């Protein structure tokens, strides 16, 4: 499977709320970030949690977020960031 996103590309975390096991934090849903690193393809942990085979494999990315854009009233510096590992099916291109 080829990578869906490139390093330095702006992405948005899908703002979904499916039932069941999810590996994407609620506070990141709907937020924009930047791809920092592509790890490769791995079996989908959301399916593995229910005993499925986790296939097809999904690309896993390191996504960097500006903390000031994550939390209203954030008092840290403008350069503070958070990095999260997010699977491709939770990401979409930012406009």
Task: Give a yes or no: residue 58 inside a domain.
Answer: yes
Torsion of CA 70, 74, 76, 81, to 10 degrees: 0
Number of domains in the chain: 1
Q: Which pTM does this prediction carry? A: 0.89
The whole domain housing 69 covers 10-93
**Residue 3 included in any domain:** no
| Burial class of residue 22 (count of CB atoms within 10 Å of its CB; 0-12, 13-18, 19+) | middle
What CATH number is given to the structural domain containing 16? Answer: 2.30.30.50
Tens-digit pLDDT profile for residues 54-90: 999 999 999 999 999 999 999 999 999 999 999 999 9
């Amino acid at each position: 499977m080829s990578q869906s996103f490139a390093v330095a590309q702006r992405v948005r975390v899908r703002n979904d709320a499916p039932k069941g096991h999810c590996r994407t934090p609620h506070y990141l849903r709907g937020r924009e970030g930047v791809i920092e690193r592509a790890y490769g393809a791995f079996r989908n942990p959301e399916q593995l949690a229910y005993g499925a085979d986790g296939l097809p494999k999904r690309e896993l990315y390191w996504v960097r977020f500006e903390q000031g854009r994550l939390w209203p009233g954030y008092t840290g510096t403008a350069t503070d960031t958070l990095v999260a590992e997010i699977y491709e099916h939770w990401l979409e291109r930012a406009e």
